[in-house]
Amino acid sequence: MTANSITHTTNPTDVIKIHKQRFTIDIEKDFDGNKYFDYKEINLKGLELDRTALVYLYLISGQIEIKFDLGTVNRPIKPSNRFIGQLRGLKFRLLVVDKDTQRIIASAEHVSAKSLNQDKRDSLIPVETDSKLGNEIWKLPLIDGAQPILYLNQKYPYVENLIANDYQTVALIYPQVMRLALMHYINNPTDNATDAWQYKWYRFIKEHGFNKTEIPSSESADSMKFEFIDKVIEKWLKNIDIFSLAVTAINNRKSE
């Protein structure tokens, strides 16, 4: 067999991929503070889809999966009840389905919502505020398979500003957050899909000079995982120079 005779099917399912740029899902709050998801338009133009095909949006949070009926390709409807309650770690799945065979014609998988106050949609650890953290300033709940999200206690004064701009706060909190999230990444392997949250972590690790073969597997001994995480964290802290920045910030405050 020569190399010329090898063929590779890049899309064996024949499902048309709906690019994430065709729609944006936001998490908003109503006047009473209840969270809901929203979107302006789901643009399916130019995909040459059957106009009568059914469109569904699935909201996924851990073990919970909620279906929203969005009508058909030519007659879209927007569900009126889009409240998400206390659900966390949301992912969305958009499906265009043949109404007779239920075959998926087109889909968008693992779509993240743009969180409240989150400008950077593709951040490594999305940050959200929460009013039910009790006496904890921050929390990183780890749900199997789900992207880790950092929750900040909304009752703690200026918490969002501190986490974004205050070097001392960042130096105190983020190394531990990153440790937990890295362990979660190691323990929740996935395929090589570039749209999975794990891929961002893989890229992060690679950017800090580590090879794929150096990353422990979920089955590796804990000691091996801790050792690897220590190395990555140390490299990252060195790169962003947060220790010096925090020290300088403290000294500046003293002299003010």
Residues that bind another protein (CB under 8 A): 13-15, 54, 56, 60, 62-65, 67, 95, 97, 101-104, 142-145
Q: What is the distance between the alpha carbons of residues 69 and 158, in angstroms, rounded to a whole number?
A: 39
SS3 string of 161-213? HHHHHCHHHHHHHHHHHHHHHHHHHHHCCCCCCCCCHHHHHHHHHHHCCCCHH
Nearest CB to another protein, comparing residues 65 and 214: 65
Cβ atoms 87, 31 nearer than 8 A? no
Tokens found for residue 1: 């067999």
Could you tell me the smallest distance in angstroms from the CB atom of residue 75 to another protein? 18
Nearest CB to another protein, comparing residues 18 and 162: 18
Burial class for 11, CB neighbours closer than 10 Å (0-12, 13-18, 19+)? exposed
Could you tell me the smallest distance in angstroms from the CB atom of residue 225 to another protein? 15
Nearest CB to another protein, comparing residues 95 and 170: 95
Could you tell me the smallest distance in angstroms from the CB atom of residue 190 to another protein? 12
Nearest CB to another protein, comparing residues 64 and 250: 64
Nearest CB to another protein, comparing residues 15 and 124: 15
Could you tell me the smallest distance in angstroms from the CB atom of residue 144 to another protein? 4
Cβ atoms 66, 59 nearer than 8 A? yes
Taking the chain, what is the end-to-end CA distance rounded to the nearest angstrom? 75
Could you tell me the smallest distance in angstroms from the CB atom of residue 246 to another protein? 31
Could you tell me the smallest distance in angstroms from the CB atom of residue 188 to another protein? 9
Burial class for 152, CB neighbours closer than 10 Å (0-12, 13-18, 19+)? buried
Cα atoms in the Cβ-side hemisphere of radius 13 Å centred on 256: 6
Which residues make beta-bridge pairs with 97?
Answer: 54, 104
Could you tell me the smallest distance in angstroms from the CB atom of residue 13 to another protein? 5
Question: For strand 54-61 and strand 138-139, is the pairing parallel, antiparallel, or unpaired?
Answer: unpaired
Q: What is the distance between the alpha carbons of residues 92 and 113, in angstroms, rounded to a whole number?
A: 7
Nearest CB to another protein, comparing residues 56 and 210: 56
Nearest CB to another protein, comparing residues 95 and 177: 95
